[in-house]
Amino acid sequence: MIREEIKNVPSGYLMIGVLLIVQALGIYWLVIAAQMQSPPLAITALLFSLAVAVLWAGFFMVHPNESKVLQLFGSYAGTAKDPGLRWANPFFAKTKVSARIRNFESSKLKVNDSQGSPIEIAAVVVWRVFDTAEAIFEVDDYEEFVHIQSESALRNLSTTYPYEANQNEEVALRSHPLEIANALRKEIQERLEEAGVSVIEARISHLAYAPEIAHAMLRRQQASAVIAARTQIVAGAVGMVRMALEQLRDENVVELDEERKAAMVGNLLTVLCSEEGAQPVLNTGSLYT
């Protein structure tokens, strides 16, 4: 495995001055050779000038948060990271690698969750290159590699967890976004480690049931919500009835036998649990007649 090696290359501004001086010496050499009418000296001066001209091809620019991977005839020579105008061996092949933070949103994947329900899911992945040598030499195209492996990790994660929890302690895609995001980032990072890529963040951006079961699941969620609401209403109503009976007894407001208590409980529960306003009915007779 090829690891990144930082290569310190000379400043381009310094090399401009050096090459200008050397180029001037080459021109002066040509002039002297012409005055002396010496063909060997003229050929040597011409070759020297051509060599200096080739050295001018060694200049390159490194922008902030950018690196240049240097290769000499196929061999890795190092990575230049210092920003600014730089100069290196003109025979170096210089490949630009951005170290900036990048992000992308995966396409909407249609998968089955751990319970077999078809769902649609997508994620946003924030990443950057931390090892330029691995990014260039360990994979063919590191950007495409990031996209494909991220979607593969997302698909695998979707089959590991249910869409929604059946129990309070169960981790689910919809109810535990932080835990799911951490698990997704960890799985993507494991897949991209050898590509020299660091995953900063990965979060689900779209999550829904597949269209063919969305309506049925919506009705189930509505039914669950109604049951939960009704349970809370009944629990509250029973507490209020108990409190009313205890206060009537403790303050000696009225003495109620078991039959009157049952009638009062029924009336109070009807009023408290009804979805619509109760219509009072006045009883002008006796409860026993």
CA 96 to chain centre: 24
Q: pLDDT over 90 for what percent of the chain?
A: 27
At 24-38, the pLDDT tens digits run 887 777 777 777 777
CATH number of the domain encompassing residue 174: 3.30.479.30
| Domain range for 244 | 221-273
17 located within any domain:
yes
Residue 249 and residue 189 share a domain: no
pLDDT given for residue 155 in this prediction? 92
pLDDT in tens, 183-192: 999 999 999 9
Residues 205 and 113 in one domain: yes
From the number of C-beta atoms within 10 Å of its C-beta (0-12, 13-18, 19+), residue 247 rates as exposed
**pTM to 2 decimals?**
0.67
Token representation of residue 286: 């006796």
Any residues with CB less than 8 A from the CB of 187 and at least 6 apart, and which?
153, 156, 157
> In 3D, which of 123, 252, 271, 145 has the Cα closest to residue 196?
145
Into how many domains does the chain fold? Answer: 3
- The answer for 263, left when phi > 0, alpha when psi is -120 to 50, beta otherwise, is alpha
What are 160's two structure tokens? 């590991």
Q: Which amino acid is at 108?
A: K
d(CA 289, CA 286): 5
Is residue 2, in this structure, part of any structural domain at all?
no
Which residues contact residue 64 at a Cβ distance below 8 angstroms, ignoring those fewer than 6 apart? 83
Minimal CA–CA distance to 145: which of 69, 201, 197? 197
pLDDT at residue 123, as a whole number: 93
190 and 241 inside one domain: no
User: Is residue 183 included in any domain, yes or no?
Assistant: yes
pLDDT at residue 46 in the model? 79
> Look-up: residue for tokens 């078809």?
118
Q: Measured on CA atoms in the order 91, 5, 68, 125, is the torsion positive or negative?
A: positive
* Per-residue pLDDT at 198: 93
- Co-location of 142 and 44 in the same domain: no
User: Each residue of 209-248: pLDDT tens digit?
Assistant: 877 655 666 666 666 666 777 777 777 777 877 787 777 7
Using the predicted structure, report yes or no on whether residue 257 has a pLDDT greater than 70: no
Q: Are residues 20 and 56 part of one domain?
A: yes
Mean pLDDT check: name the lowest of 2-6, 19-23, 137-141, 261-265.
261-265
Q: Are residues 41 and 66 in the same domain?
A: yes
